[in-house]
Amino acid sequence: MRVLGLAGSPRRGGNSETLLDRALAGAQEAGAEVEKVVVSRLKMRGCQHCDGCVGTGICVVQDDMQSLYPQLREMNAFVVASPMFFMAITSQLKAVFDRCQCLWVAKYELGQPFVPEGSPKRPGLFMALGGTRFKHLFEPSRVIVKSIFVSLDVAYGPELFYRAIDKNGDISQHPTALDEAYAAGRRLVEG
């Protein structure tokens, strides 16, 4: 089983990447092969809406997204972790999602789903955090992530959201977050 994790934050080793690492550790401990991609390190452009993928499902923009497409196609489970930047996932992560337009074309226009028709979707986990305690802090991101999960045949399942996590390292002081991320990662594999 291959579990792909996307780290949405540009802050290396920050709060959300720490959470992601715990989830991937749980998945690995349960027997999965795990891959982590730090999206801010990708040299890539946003979707140009050039329609180059129409009819093929293949993106024509030659940049670092080309190495991520096979991982997105072939993963068996998906983990996304992001801090909230102005009430949403980071722009770097959103750019990766937008570049999945070619995969949307493959699935919806060319009839090439990522799991066979009638089979269970690939399990997914969304983890997010922000510095404030705003009530609606995660709502825009939930909608965005649900949208990409549906497009990639990923089931939107557990979500782990943490408020008032701001300074680098705050997540490690949280009483339950790291254990919850680890357990959620394990459950992705063990069901």
Q: Which residue has the tokens 């649900």?
A: 146
Burial class of residue 152, CB neighbours in 10 A (0-12, 13-18, 19+): buried
H helices within 47-133, ranges in order? Answer: 65-74, 91-98, 101-104
Specify the stretch interacting with ligand FMN by CB under 6 A; choose among 10-18, 60-68, 115-123, 151-159. Answer: 10-18
57 in contact with ligand FMN (CB under 6 A): no
Q: Which residue number, 102 or 137, has a Cβ lying nearer to ligand FMN?
A: 137
Neighbours of 164 (CB within 10 A): 11
Residues in 151-180 that interact with ligand FMN by CB under 6 A: 165-166, 168
Using CB under 6 A, which of 44, 87, 155, 183 touches ligand FMN?
87
Using CB under 6 A, which of 132, 172, 173, 176 touches ligand FMN?
132
Q: Give the footprint of ligand FMN on this chain (CB under 6 A).
A: 9, 11, 14-17, 83-87, 129-132, 134, 137, 165-166, 168
